Amino acid sequence: MRDNRTRNRALLRHVALPTIFLTVALLGGVRVAGGSGAFLFVAPPLVTLLLAALLLALFARGGTLKVGRWLSAENGTAENVSHALTLAALFFASAQAFNSVLPETGLPRFVLASFFLWTLWQNQFSYFDPRRLLKSLAALFGTAFLVKHVFLASLNQPAEGWVGRLLSAAFEGVTLGALTGPAYADSTGYVSFFALALYVCGLALTPPAPDDEATDDGRAVGLARELKSLTPEERGRVVEVLRSDEGVLRLEGERVSTSTPEAVEASPQTEKEGRG
């Protein structure tokens, strides 16, 4: 059973995760031309690389990604190279995920890019656990997806439906082409949705460290590594806490043992023997 678990985790780390993130890196820049239906590839702009760097820093700070465990001197050379390629694929997938939801040009692109920058920068100084961080990222990308592929895409077709007529009246006198950028086919939104869903799934499958929860020995080794990174004062505090916890557990165990029916029945007999 442990062999199967180890094999599956190795396939996930070295095959599945790089494939998922490289697919996202490819699909995040794909656009479908509105007239001809030709496939276009948009390279990630500089702002998306900055956003991806901030996001990976947020992963490392929130404990979602322990870089020191992915790239460690205790790992083999081939293992470190494979882990480095996985992290590089994650970086470019993050950049392309931002590229797929950012408008191409104009004021909306500036507003959304500023929103992403401000949110990621503020989160650098707040507490996050891995699950909460993943949920917030899904909500963030979902909001940006709706803005670009639903709201702004409707501006290119102002005469279709009540949403289009409402937007046309709201932006009357504004040059829609300059506001929304180039017009792409509706299938571009489907490609972007699939890329974002695949990206979130890849993040959910990515373990904080390669050997986390692999075996009991792996958990012990991980705990030993974390203890090594502590200062002597912090180690002393850990020992004090463990000793205090053991004392509390012993007291609770003694209370439970004395409150059992056998102990209750034995207590009157003990008192009689003491009186006699």
Residue 172 confidence (pLDDT) above 80: no
pTM: 0.67
Token digits of residue 166: 């409402």
Lowest mean pLDDT among 16-25, 83-92, 175-184, 192-201: 175-184
- Give the model's pLDDT for residue 245: 59
- When pLDDT is averaged across residues 178-183 and rounded to a whole number, the result is 58
pLDDT band of residue 259 (cuts 50, 70, 90) is: very low
- pLDDT classification of 216: cutoffs 50, 70, 90: very low
Amino acid 17: pLDDT: 92
- Contact of 59 with 134, CB cutoff 8 Å: no
Question: How far lies 62's CA from each of 78, 85, 110, 223, 236, in Å?
Answer: 27, 22, 27, 18, 25
Helix (H) or strand (E) holding 32: strand 30-32
Q: Are 176 and 158 in contact (CB under 8 A)?
A: yes
pLDDT of 128 higher than 50: yes
Residue 94 pLDDT > 70: yes
175 class by beta-carbon count within 10 Å (0-12 exposed, 13-18 middle, 19+ buried): exposed
Q: What percentage of the chain reaches a pLDDT higher than 70?
A: 71
CB contact at 8 A, 52 and 92 = yes
CB of 103 within 8 A of CB of 115?
Answer: no
Cα(27)–Cα(202) distance, rounded to whole angstroms?
14
Give the residue among 85, 195, 81, 101 at the shortest CA–CA distance from 148. Answer: 101
